């Protein structure tokens, strides 16, 4: 993949933004310009990054934050403790649904990428208080995204907190059923903040590259996470990374990926590439409409569908 071809693919897929709409249930996200599309590709073997379109635009990480926070929780607690608290199974219910825990009498959230599982993951982060916990999350995001300019978007955070009643209901349900420990409001405050940091497609490509490179940052050859953590997180991304669209995405695109309602997509092609994509208009499942089409074209061009 070269710069010119990536630019051509961004241009080819730009019009797909018209098939979606920006997230409107979070007021601050509803104000984002939908006419944006950008992508960054980190080539591990060549150790270089190419980008096109709006790859440097900053946007709210939203649910993609569930990946680095899960990785940090594993580093803090170990794999066994984390997955005693949270399952690794896909779910047929919406990402913010309580039904799997209630109907099936689950003792744990289904996976770390549905909201209940993500809140439980955040509860496992170590720290003296909620500010310390968020500072550790932010520092880890800066490191693994190779982006020291990542900051909290206060407007998004306040909007998330104001409209987060379903997440509150999930958290209190889990607390009431001894699924999580700690102060619920402090856990939620940290969760709302982690979803509200500003990242770029370039940063997401670096995150994807660490996962693809078995936990080692290819830009400085430093291990950031364990190889086992990278493997497990990629597998959960494959089965649960795109909400209700995860199965279709795996069938038609075929790379481990995670989406966010801010319009981001992060993908990891084992031993080859990290991908970061941004386009804020979402399809009916809450995933980037133009971003998925662009990622599909790039995967086809590079012949890196892991199921081929």
Last residue of a domain, one of 196, 218, 239: 196
CB of 290 closer than 8 Å to CB of 238: no
What does the pLDDT read at residue 277? 98
Same domain, 254 and 143: no
* The pLDDT value given to residue 26: 87
Q: Which residues form the domain of 98?
A: 64-196
308 in any annotated domain: no
pLDDT tens per residue across span 10-33: 999 999 999 999 998 888 999 999
**For residues 59 and 282, is the Cβ–Cβ distance under 8 A?**
no
Tens of pLDDT, residue by residue over 40-76, are: 999 999 999 999 999 999 999 999 999 999 999 999 9
Annotated binding residues for substrate, written as ranges, equal 63, 115, 160, 167, 191, 243, 261
Q: What is the pLDDT of residue 105?
A: 59
Looking at residue 108, what is its pLDDT?
Answer: 83
Whether residues 223 and 235 fall in one domain:
yes
Count: domains in the chain: 2
Q: Is 127 domain-assigned?
A: yes
DSSP code, position 54: S
The residue whose two tokens read 């499942």 is 285
Q: Is 211 helix (H, G, I), strand (E, B) or coil?
A: helix
Which DSSP state fits 244? G
Task: Give residue 308's pLDDT.
Answer: 82
Shared domain for 138 and 209, answered yes or no, is no
Point out the domain boundary residue: 143, 169, 196.
196
The low-confidence residues of the chain, meaning pLDDT below 70, are 91-94, 96-100, 102-106
Residue 17 sits in a domain whose CATH number is 3.40.710.10
Active site residues: 63, 66, 191, 243, 261
């Amino acid at each position: 993949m070269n710069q010119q071809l990536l630019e051509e693919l961004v241009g080819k897929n730009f019009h797909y933004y018209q098939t979606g709409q920006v997230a409107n249930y979070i007021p601050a996200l509803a104000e984002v310009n939908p006419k944006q599309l950008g992508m960054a590709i980190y080539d591990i073997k060549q150790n270089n990054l190419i980008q096109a379109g709006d790859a440097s635009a900053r946007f709210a990480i939203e649910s993609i934050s569930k990946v680095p926070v899960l990785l940090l929780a594993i580093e803090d607690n170990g794999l066994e403790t984390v997955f005693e608290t949270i399952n690794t199974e896909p779910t047929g219910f919406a990402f913010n649904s309580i039904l799997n825990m209630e109907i099936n009498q689950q003792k744990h959230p289904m996976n770390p990428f549905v909201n209940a599982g993500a809140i439980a993951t955040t509860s496992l982060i170590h720290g003296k208080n909620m500010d310390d916990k968020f500072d550790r999350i932010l520092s880890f995001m800066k490191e693994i995204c190779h982006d020291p300019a990542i900051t909290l978007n206060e407007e998004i955070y306040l909007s998330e907190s104001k409209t987060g009643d379903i997440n509150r209901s999930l958290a209190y349900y889990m607390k009431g059923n001894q699924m999580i420990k700690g102060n619920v409001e402090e856990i939620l405050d940290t969760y709302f903040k982690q979803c509200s940091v500003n990242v770029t497609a370039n940063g997401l490509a670096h995150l994807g590259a660490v996962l693809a490179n078995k936990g080692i940052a290819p830009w400085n050859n430093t291990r950031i996470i364990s190889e086992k953590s990278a493997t497990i997180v990629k597998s959960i991304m494959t089965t649960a990374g795109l909400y209700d669209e995860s199965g279709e995405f795996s069938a038609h695109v075929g790379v481990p990926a995670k989406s966010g309602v801010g319009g981001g997509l992060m993908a990891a092609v084992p031993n080859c590439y990290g991908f970061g994509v941004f386009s804020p208009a979402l399809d009916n499942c809450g995933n980037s409409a133009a971003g998925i089409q662009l990622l599909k074209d790039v995967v086809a061009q590079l012949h890196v569908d892991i199921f081929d």
